[in-house]
Amino acid sequence: MQKKMAYSFPDEVLEHVFSFIQSVKDRNAVSTVCKSWYEIERWCRRKVFIGNCYAVSPRMVINRFPEVRSIELKGKPHFADFNLVPDGWGGYVLPWIVEMAGAYPWLEEIRLKRMVVTDESLELIAKSFKNFKVLVLFSCEGFSTDGLAAIASGCKSLRELDLRESEVDDLSGHWLTHFPETCTSLVSLNISCLGSDEVSFSALERLVGRCPNLRSLRLNRAVTLDKIANILRSAPQLVDFGTGNYAAELRPDVLSNLVGAFSSCKELKSLSGFWDVVPAYLPALYSVCSRLTSLNLSYATIQSPEIIKLVSHCPSLQHLLVLDYIEDSGLEALASSCKDLQELRVFPSDPFGAELNVSLTEQGLVAVSLGCPKLQSVLYFCRRMTNAALVTIAQNCPNFTRFRLCIIEPKTADYLTLEPLDVGFGAIVEHCKDLKRLSLSGLLTDRVFEYIGTYAKKLEMLSVAFAGDSDLGLHHVLSGCESLRKLEIRDCPFGDKALLANAAKLETMRSLWMSSCTVSFGACKLLGQKMPRLNVEVIDEADPPDSRPESCPVDKLYVYRSVSGPRFDMPPFVWTMDEERKILH
């Protein structure tokens, strides 16, 4: 019933009010207040975020939001990063571009994550959107430098081109020359993922030189150290810079040139790159270090003493990515120098080695937790851990929002007590009341999941591997974690009972991934049949799941909610369990 009250706001006023509401979550909330707010909101919605490209169809989005200027889409499940999702699974962006080309001629921004992007898609983008400004391809694949050339030449007001961590087919190094001389609008350019020969350096230099608003520039490995100085001098306004190769024979003139170039960049706050670092060139950075808030040394094979020297020059550091060469001693130095540290990521330098090659243990993380009160986000690869250390860390850092611990050897127990690490992770979820993301590792029983279900009320994403004893573990999580959106599990003894008992929970989540668990084909069929708003996908590269008895476990299961029904772009090794008991293929 729509009763126009005498004192109700005209639509334009409401629209104006809504324009101050930018966050997607808030917008969604606004739209559910009443029918008229829904209508007004949908006409003035400019930004859409779609966390799973198969949860809704392009046509549905366009029908509801006719005036979108910015879209963000995510495709493959997170475990695709670790080769668990076979090639060809899906996540194609072309259907979206095709529909949007007609419906959104004024589209300005496309941000994609883990999607398959083709040159055809890129060419269509370049052709269809006259005011196109921002293209971010995060962990995408399927396109080549030809597609990039089309973007460069076709998008006259391009501001951002960010290819972070994407896989690009190198066909020609000259795509950069396709940026016309009239292009002066670039603000951000990230080509760090490109392979050796994919950059025409002179074109790059000219491009950088004519874009006075360039704030972020991340070069690829092919760019040698001697070229950095010139680039920096032509873009002293840079805030974020990624070097290429940082290695060269030590020459005093090159070094002093570099020192001068870095010190001319008064706004520089973030550094990355540093492939093949020659430590002698690190002092060139010292002038920047005092302002540095973000430092990514995770490609740099420098040893602990050099890392310590560098890091102790950076008192304002908030984000550090580094290899485990930093060792416990380096982390202790970090803890005493960088009191503003918010995020720490320590990657393993030799993840497949059988032996310890560096002295990085739980002690390093404990030191940082003690010395850095603002620490919120941790990704830590190590080879040993104790419950005591985890409890200490939890008590030191109740403000954790992201805690991802990877003990490299699966099912590693507390090395002092030989017990499971249940109590340690339990302390993390108990003390860190705002924890949004958690990754577990080590020896873990159902008990840890009981703790998680009891305490982790704000947890949105949980990653589990080689853990648990029984379905009870999964049940604790599904029934206890109220905010859970994404759950990914591999190699755990979780099966049908917990899944079926919590079927309705799955509709409140974005997705569930289970691989190498013990969920039977029969249970998948039942789930698909009874839950029409879930897509239940079974992935099996070896045999069709119905070639075996129903009680046989499926290899991989991916369940996600969707309002657009099963998808029809599945490869031969993916089956969707349909409500009419059909197995779609």
Partner 1 sequence: MPNMEFQLGLALPTPNIIMGFDLNNHGLDHLKDIGGFSGKSKRSFEQAFGKFKQECKTKTLLLWSGQPNEEEDQKDQKKTTFSTIDENDAEEVDQVVGWPPIKTWRKKMFQQQHRVCRIENNRVAGKDNGRSIYVKVKMEGVAITRKVDLRLYHSYQTLTNSLITVFAKDKKCADDDYTRYILTYQDKEGDWLIAGDIPWQNFIRSVQRLKIVRNWS
Q: Please, which of residues 434-493 interact with partner 1 by CB under 8 A?
A: 439, 463, 465-466, 469-472, 475, 479, 482, 490-493
Q: Which residues contact 26 (CB under 8 A, 6 or more apart)?
A: none
Based on the shown chain and the rule CB under 8 A, indicate whether residue 75 belongs to the binding site for partner 1: no
29 Cβ contact partners less than 8 Å away, ≥ 6 residues apart: none
Residue 87 contacts partner 1 per CB under 8 A: no
Does position 527 bind partner 1 by CB under 8 A?
yes
Look at residues 569, 584, 487 and name the one whose alpha carbon lies nearest to residue 77. 487
**Which residues in the 529-548 window bind partner 1 by CB under 8 A?**
530, 533
Q: Judge contact between 42 and 550, C-beta under 8 A.
A: no
Nearest distance, CB of residue 183 and partner 1, angstroms: 29
- Give residues 341-400 in contact with partner 1 (rule: CB under 8 A): 347-357, 381
Q: Which of 501, 570, 583, 584 binds partner 1 (CB under 8 A)?
A: 501
382 class by beta-carbon count within 10 Å (0-12 exposed, 13-18 middle, 19+ buried): buried
Site string for partner 1, 91-120 (x = CB under 8 A): ------------------------------
Q: What is the DSSP letter of 6?
A: T
Q: Of 473, 330, 461, whose CA–CA distance to 404 is shortest?
A: 461
Task: Considering only the stretches 98-106, 369-377, 502-510, 568-576, report the one whose residues sit in contact with partner 1 under the rule CB under 8 A.
Answer: 502-510
Choices 55-63, 232-240, 306-314, 386-394; region in contact with partner 1 by CB under 8 A? 55-63
Cα angle, residue 265 at apex, residues 264 and 269 outer, rounded to 5°: 150
Cα separations (Å) of 345 from 77, 210, 296, 398? 22, 35, 9, 18
| H-state helical runs in 71-144 | 94-103, 119-128
Separation of alpha carbons 72 and 52, rounded Å: 10
Contact status: 419 vs partner 1 (CB under 8 A): no
- SS3 sequence of 286-337: HHHHCCCCEEEECCCCCCHHHHHHHHCCCCCCCEEEEEHHHHHHHHHHHHHH
Q: Which of 248, 278, 500, 584 binds partner 1 (CB under 8 A)?
A: 500
Between 349 and 399, name the residue whose CB sits nearer to partner 1: 349
CB of 501 to partner 1, least distance (A): 4
Nearest to 204 by CA among 260, 257, 258, 148: 148
Span 32-51, contacts to partner 1 by CB under 8 A: 32, 38
Contact 544/562 with Cβ under 8 angstroms?
A: no
Residues 187-246 that bind partner 1 (CB under 8 A): 193
Point out which span in 235-243, 425-433, 501-509, 569-577 binds partner 1 (CB under 8 A): 501-509
Among 79, 96, 132, 560, binds partner 1 (CB under 8 A): 79
Could you say which of 146, 226, 507, 578 contacts partner 1 (CB under 8 A)? 507
- Per-residue x/- marks for partner 1, 135-154, CB under 8 A? ----x---------------
CB of 205 to partner 1, least distance (A): 26
User: How far is the C-alpha of 33 from the C-alpha of 422, rounded, in Å?
Assistant: 43
Residue of the chain from 44, 259, 388, 408 that contacts partner 1 (CB under 8 A): 408
Q: Cβ of residue 459: shortest distance to partner 1, in angstroms?
A: 16
Listed in order, strand segments (DSSP E) in 305-417 are 319-323, 343-347, 377-382, 402-407
Instruction: Round to whole Å and give the CA distance between 277 and 297.
Output: 9
Q: Which of 272, 412, 511, 520 binds partner 1 (CB under 8 A)?
A: 412
Q: Between residues 27 and 215, which has the closer beta carbon with respect to partner 1?
A: 27
Strand, coil or helix: 61: helix
Interface map 269-308 toward partner 1 (x if CB under 8 A): -------x---------------------xx-x-------
Interface residue with partner 1, options 180, 256, 504, 571 (CB under 8 A): 504
Candidate residues 388, 503, 570, 583; the one interacting with partner 1 per rule CB under 8 A: 503
